[in-house]
Amino acid sequence: MAEHPARITALDALRGVGVLGILPVHMQSFAMVVAARINPSVSGDLDGLNGWIWQATAVLADGKFISIFAMLFGAGLLLLSGRGGAGAAGVESLHRRRMALLLGLGLLHAYLLWYGDMLVTFALCGAVVFGFRALPPRRLLADGALALACASVIALGVGASLPWWPADTKARFLQVWAPSPEMVDREIAAYQGDWREQMTHRAPEAFQVQTSQLVLRGFWQTTGLMLVGMGLFKLGVLTGTRSVRFYAALTGFGFGVGLPIAWYSAERGRALHWDLADFMLVRSQLEYWSDLAVGLGWIGLVMLLCRAGWRAGAVAAVGRTALSNYLLQTVICTTIFYGHGLGLFGRVDRVGQLLIVLGIWVGQLAWSAWWTRRFAVGPLEWMWRSAARGTLLPSR
């Protein structure tokens, strides 16, 4: 790809925007109890600036940037196909090793540091979708849409079955949705404790993410997004090579359709006092599809900026070191909020969380720019790729 530097800039810029954009979303999970992510009334008030920060995060970011990441991961699998070595067998062998290593890294991340890891899901779904890479772009988009629809149908089925759940099952699920003050206190105490105390909550939560959540939603959604990303890459959408008019239309469609739906979903949640049945049958669907639409809007906007001459600079540098920066966010945030560090879990409101986000952004932009002036990829990217190929790759 060296002969197409503009395309690399566009991809790196988009990846950098994604890395930075997921931090305010994940900050909620780093700083507050699990339930606060989907039921914000559980932790802290939603009045004044705290409420506006939550609403802006829900409408503009939550679910949107992880969708972009998944699409870019799919595009990256196509890039790998041209770098694998000795023919198709070499490419497939390299891909299997990379996914196995990513899976191992994700498991360590989830169980040792933070339950919200996305690498395990990406590795498993990436292993599946690689076999679709030769399909034409429109077939990839169609298959991706079908996989995305599967997750939506499954969620509707689960929500519709809620009245017929056994009483004890429903009671446990309600406790997850709206935990009692005693449950909240126990979770806060666990994360304010030492590493072993944190494991009593982190390990079961990570296991749930990688089992039931993966089967019901994560696999279908992530696989669908990766296939869509492959299709968009083959059509030139993710490389900044389509027309300005095309990207303007994509931006207008994504934001014009997605933002009103996401806003309505947030307002509906407030009006109905975060009703569980409404979330499962209505709001989860609104959020699910608005995530995709707004994600496409962000893609269109970044590509428009690149077509206008934006070189991305430090943002592209963050994109070139995406894996390193993603895991660095976990290290920084768990040190701030968990008991082995400052122990601020459950003590920082959304205004304070946003200030921490801004500080981390500044640090990551500065570090990434400094690093990429000296090295080709991030430190973890270099170790991952070297381990997959079984040899030390050039770092500069």
pLDDT of residue 80: 80
pLDDT of residue 7: 42
Under the phi-then-psi rule, with left for phi > 0, alpha for psi from -120 to 50, and beta for the rest, what region is 390?
Answer: left
Backbone angles phi, psi at 172, to 5 degrees: -65, -40
pLDDT of residue 156: 96
Q: 3-class SS at 116?
A: coil
Please report which confidence band the pLDDT of residue 85 belongs to, taking 50, 70 and 90 as the band edges: very low
pLDDT of residue 83: 54
Tokens of 255: 């934001």
Q: What is the mean pLDDT of residues 319-345?
A: 97
Q: What is the pLDDT of residues 356-368, one digit of tens each?
A: 999 999 999 999 9
Count the residues in the chain.
Answer: 396
- Residue 1 CB: number of other CB atoms within 10 A? 11
Q: What is the pLDDT of residues 107-146, one digit of tens each?
A: 999 999 999 999 999 999 999 999 999 999 999 999 999 9
Tokens of 122: 């990406």
**Residues 207, 223: Cα–Cα separation, whole Å:** 20
Cα–Cα–Cα angle for 303, 257, 156, nearest 5°?
A: 115
Q: Are 314 and 368 in contact (CB under 8 A)?
A: yes
Q: Are 129 and 77 in contact (CB under 8 A)?
A: yes
Is the overall model pTM greater than 0.75, yes or no? yes
**Residues 370, 116: Cα–Cα separation, whole Å:** 28
Predicted confidence (pLDDT) at residue 3 exceeds the cutoff of 80: no
Identify the weakest region by mean pLDDT among 52-61, 329-338, 384-393.
Answer: 384-393
Q: Provide the mean pLDDT of the chain.
A: 93
pLDDT of residue 33: 96
pLDDT of residue 82: 65
pLDDT of residue 392: 87
